[in-house]
Amino acid sequence: MSFSTCDLCDGNEDKLASGGLAVLPPVFRHFGKRKAFSGPAATLKVFEDNVLVRAALETPGDGRVLVVDGGGSLRCALVGGNLGVLAEKNGWAGIIVNGCVRDSEELDACDIGVRALATHPQRSIRKGVGDRDIAVQIAGVTVRPGNWIYADADGVLVAAEKIG
């Protein structure tokens, strides 16, 4: 599926006005080979703990986008090169992290799209604390499981349903 987030915004001004389409603030950096990716959202809410991130990426992605609300923490990374390889192997379209990633060169070699706030060399703790498949807040925008994510060089969109 080829798309442009600019064209999706232009063609869906009614959804932007009603809240059926939202734009994430332009605070995310791009990683991974896929400059553009889209798919239904799977959601996680964690804080400086990536056990649930790994557990999610170990399951079949089926073209979904894993949206990780890491609380915006800049104190450690929630996704690294090994998880990027796992996401690619299991068919995830992309990962959006409201937090940090590491192993950026390894992530850039993976055939997925990744958006994150920054890089950080320190790994997270591993306690397994967090929630999955719930509504999360990413940079002030609510993302629900099953919402559609569209990401390209111009931005990241969250749609209540598939648009095109």
Q: Give the model's confidence band at 1: pLDDT under 50 very low, under 70 low, under 90 confident, else very high.
A: low
Q: Indicate if the pLDDT at residue 83 is higher than 80.
A: yes
Residue 155 structure tokens: 């931005």
pTM higher than the cut 0.85: yes
Q: Indicate if the pLDDT at residue 130 is higher than 80.
A: yes
pLDDT for 35-74, tens place per residue?
999 999 999 999 999 999 999 999 999 999 999 999 999 9
Average pLDDT over residues 83-111: 98
Non-local CB neighbours of 9 within 8 Å, separated by 6+ positions: 16, 21, 23, 157
The average confidence (pLDDT) of the chain is: 97
Domains of the chain: 5-159 (3.50.30.40)
Q: Please report the DSSP string for 97-141 in residue order.
A: EEEEE--HHHHHTSSSEEEEEEE-SSBPB-S---EESS-EEETTE
| Sign, Cα dihedral of 129, 106, 95, 119 | positive
Could you tell me what percent of the chain has a pLDDT over 90? 98
Query: Buried b / exposed e across 40-77, counting CB within 10 Å, b at 16+?
Result: bbbbbbbbbbbebbeebbeeebeebbbbbbbbebeebb
The reported pLDDT for the residue numbered 139 is 87
